[in-house]
Structure 1
Amino acid sequence: MPVETTAHTLRQDADRLAGGYPALLAEAERVAALVAAGVHGRRRPGQGETFWQYRPYDVSDPANRIDWRRSARGDAVFVRDTEWEAANSVYLWRDGGPGMNWRSDKSLPTKRDRASVLSLALTSLLMRGGERCAVLGESERPRSGRVGYERLAHRLAASEGSLDMLAGKLPAHAKLLIASDFLTEPEAWPQRLATLAARPASGVLLHIIDPAEETFPFKGRVEFQTPGGWMKPYLLGRAERAKADYRTRFQAHCQRVEDSARHLGFTVIRHHTDQAPGPALTALYQAFEGTL
């Protein structure tokens, strides 16, 4: 292949990957702003140098915690609390498999886009609380702050999200967000999660589901094709006859993912792409708030 053709192809690929980035970032910021107004911040008393609050003295407090200058203003004795300042590292992985680019209706986002928006919105909220975040499998270290957020957002939006990235460098006791439909090699996910838990790491699985994947609304003669074309098309003469069996199998798949994850210490949050992203983001943020 000529060098000119290769360079042109690379530019096209780069433009395609980056094309949806501004829209994803804007949507993530909008969702994060809505949720931020309704959730409690992660600021709390603990080890640190920044002043947090004055509070009444308790008999369990050591005497050296008393702020005598503040206490001298009245009859009560006060303790000076500092703000907790132990930032954690959160790693994100958004599945980029062919199936994640699917949607059952043009009015719905693809599973990949919704996973990206929720991942970015969660990152925004966590970084506001002082946490450091990174894309799992990328070479960059975890970052915080606005510049760090924008760098991470661009990397996540353009990330291939390959399964190999789950084996990326990960410090012990790091927290993870894994966003996927878990339909690629579903039988292998229990082992993947066990490998991550053994490193050791824990966190949240965001299970992204298109509504048609769960309800199977198809009727009549329907040809089914696998994203990426790794299997031959499959033709059903009367699709409605397969509905009951399909739904039973799909629910069994979802339950298998949840059972494996919870057994290994991961929290599972399901989200359907026809639902508003706000409730899912609130659930994600609260799940991480309890572990960081």
Structure 2
Amino acid sequence: MTTAAPDLRTRAEALGQSLPPLLAEAEMLASTVMMGEHGRRRAGLGDEFWQYRPAHQGDSARLIDWRRSARSDAHFVREREWQAAQSVTIWIDPAKSMSFTGDRARPPKSDRARLLGLALAVLLLRGGERVGLAGLASPRAGRAQLLRLAERLAAEAVGADYGAPETEGMVSHGRAVFLSDFLGDLKAIEAGLARAADRGVKGVLIQVLDPAEEEFPFDGRTIFDSMGGTLTHETRQAGDLRARYLARLAERKERLAALARAVGWHFTTHHTGAPAQGALLWAYMALQGER
């Protein structure tokens, strides 16, 4: 306890140098959404024992059930029902495809996804819920967790052109949010949803697209390169591809919506040219079961 505060101050100061605009913007965006009822206040939830789960990095030693842990080589945490119901894990696609923007006046998809994810975390943490980042930070409560999440989101895009949902660290019977363009392998997306569903996790898919990806405003000779440079296609008549492209995009959206419905999730598409408030309110209400 004696070193936690200085350590947090050090990280907060470092964060202040690297990510203040995103954190400030996220808190401002969250303030536009009215708070509703949250986790523990829901009917039917209480402090009854829910399950044991493996201890994660960052869990306090006081949370470990030593009697249960003594029966195996791993440490286990005794989780209560309200803790599971209040745990939300957010996955924000770090792949290079998210770096795309069709206009310098618009933010890249990655910036908008991080803004929405962090603003949603602000809302949930203010309501007393536990929020984490899949594979990066286990769900925890409190203001200090918001600083941790913002710090983790400062990471650069990974080497892959397209991302696949990460489910590591999700709490069984908790909730989750996937933010991505979902333009990669559908089988990988389906597998990620299946893993989450197998743990009883409910949540939302938010597809973040640039308006250029919706409208396909290309014509004449055009060279299409993936953001990672691993895929390229050259054509002299880009306009001739528009109808086929739009049909493929519509088909993908329908497929994503069907995958979400199959596991009891919600799906929506958000454009970086639109205000972020609408997508944030939609996600917040969907997580509260009001959609």
CA distance in 2, matches of 1:165, 1:188: 7
Match of 1:263 in 2: 262
Match of 1:42 in 2: 38
Moved over 3 A (4+): 17-20, 39-49, 159-165
Match of 1:116 in 2: 114
Amino acid at match of 2:93: D
Residue 23 to residue 234, structure 1, CA distance change in 2 (3 Å): same
Work out whether residues 88 and 177 of structure 2, in 8 Å CA contact, stay in contact via their aligned partners in 1: yes
Match of 2:82 in 1: 86
* TM-score normalized with structure 2 length: 0.74
Match of 1:142 in 2: 139
Amino acid at match of 1:118: L
- What does residue range 1-292 of structure 1 map to in structure 2 within 5 Å? 21-36=19-34, 39-42=35-38, 44=41, 86-87=82-83, 88-138=86-136, 140-158=137-155, 166-231=166-231, 233-290=232-289
Structure 1: tracts of 5 or more residues without a match: 1-16, 50-84
Residue 20 to residue 267, structure 1, CA distance change in 2 (3 Å): farther
Query: Which of 1 and 2 has greater Rg?
Result: 1
Per-residue CA deviations over 1:103-154 (Å, capped at 9, x if unaligned) read 000011111110000000001001111100111112x432212112111221
Residue 19 to residue 223, structure 1, CA distance change in 2 (3 Å): farther
User: Once the 2 structures are TM-superposed, how far is the Cα of residue 235 of structure 1 from its aligned partner?
Assistant: 1.2
Residue 200 to residue 42, structure 1, CA distance change in 2 (3 Å): closer
CA distance in 2, matches of 1:167, 1:148: 19
Per-residue CA deviations over 1:39-63 (Å, capped at 9, x if unaligned) read 53438576779xxxxxxxxxxxxxx
Identity of aligned residues (%): 38
Per-residue CA deviations over 1:185-240 (Å, capped at 9, x if unaligned) read 23432222112211231211111111111110111111110110112x31111111
User: Once the 2 structures are TM-superposed, how far is the Cα of residue 160 of structure 1 from its aligned partner?
Assistant: 5.4
Instruction: Give secondary structure in 1 for the equivalent of 2:106.
Output: coil
Aligned-residue RMSD, C-alpha = 2.5
CA distance in 2, matches of 1:227, 1:282: 30
Instruction: Give secondary structure in 1 for the equivalent of 2:88.
Output: strand
CA distance in 2, matches of 1:241, 1:122: 40
Per-residue CA deviations over 1:236-276 (Å, capped at 9, x if unaligned) read 11111111111001110111111111111111121111000
Work out whether residues 92 and 113 of structure 2, in 8 Å CA contact, stay in contact via their aligned partners in 1: yes
Structure 2: tracts of 5 or more residues without a match: 1-14, 48-80
Instruction: Give secondary structure in 2 for the equivalent of 1:153.
Output: helix
Residue 149 to residue 245, structure 1, CA distance change in 2 (3 Å): same
Per-residue CA deviations over 1:18-43 (Å, capped at 9, x if unaligned) read 9762111111111111123xx53438
